[in-house]
Homo-oligomer: A and B are copies of this chain.
Amino acid sequence: MLDLTNPPPKRRMTRSKGALQQALLTLLQTTALEKLTAKDIAEAAGVGYATFFRHYPDKDALLQDLAKGEISKLLTMTLPLLYTVEPRPSTQALCAYVWSNRAVWSALLTGGAAGVLKEEFIRQAQELSAVHPEKKRDLPDSLTVAFSVAAAIEIISWWLREPNPRPVDEMAGYMERLVVRPTMGEGSCPSK
């Protein structure tokens, strides 16, 4: 029942937190978030039921904590795109990154997790956009953020859901066309 061999105990609390995150991630690959119970996660993490609540007030808090890191990495690649005149390489990099971590992102974007994720995503994006030098822009900032995040998530979600996923290049093209270009200044598309 217990782990009788732990030689270097490594601050149990830290171990528990990591185990819970890892367990949630694993479980999410097979089960929707709303089907998971705190007990499920605790057991999968090899952690006592009550211990779960010592670290997180509830399931969503764990998910949010889990997502924070990945979102953070991704956002530092996503947001700059919106302020760049030459976004191709960045978009490409974003998609490549998602692809290389597709196990994680599949888990995060399917099931009921997407809702929590989007909110955290927007929260972080808004923080970032607040400190950015505000480029002259013809869209309300909060709309730009909400739209970009929702659209990007939807596109990636669609991508990872597909039975035969498209190559990274193609997705980068869609992303640029559907998210980046439309939110850039009008000048970027001198259609008339």
Contact = CB atoms under 8 A, between A and B. Distances in A.
Interface in A127-184: 139-140, 142-143, 146-147, 150-151, 153-155, 157-158, 166, 174, 177-178, 181-183
A190 interface: yes
Contact of A188 (B154, B166, B191): B191
A185 to B, nearest CB: 11
Contacts of A191: 188-191
Given A112-B115, A146-B154, A151-B154, A182 B188 contact: no
A147 B143 contact: no
A110 B112 CA distance: 16
Contacts of A151: 147, 150-151, 154, 178
Q: DSSP class of A's interface residues: helix, strand, loop or mixed?
A: helix
Interface residues of A, number: 27
A112, A115, A143 — most chain B CB neighbours (10 Å) = A143
A189 B177 CA distance: 10
A155 B142 CA distance: 10
B182 A158 contact: no
A142 B158 contact: yes
Nearest to A187: B191
Given A146-B154, A155-B143, A182 B177 contact: yes
A174 B147 CA distance: 10
6 contacts: A114-B115, A143-B155, A147-B155, A150-B150, A181-B182, A189-B191
Given A115-B115, A143-B155, A151-B178, 19 more contacts: A112-B115, A140-B166, A142-B158, A143-B158, A146-B155, A146-B158, A147-B151, A147-B154, A147-B178, A150-B150, A150-B151, A150-B153, A151-B151, A177-B182, A178-B182, A178-B183, A181-B189, A188-B191, A191-B191
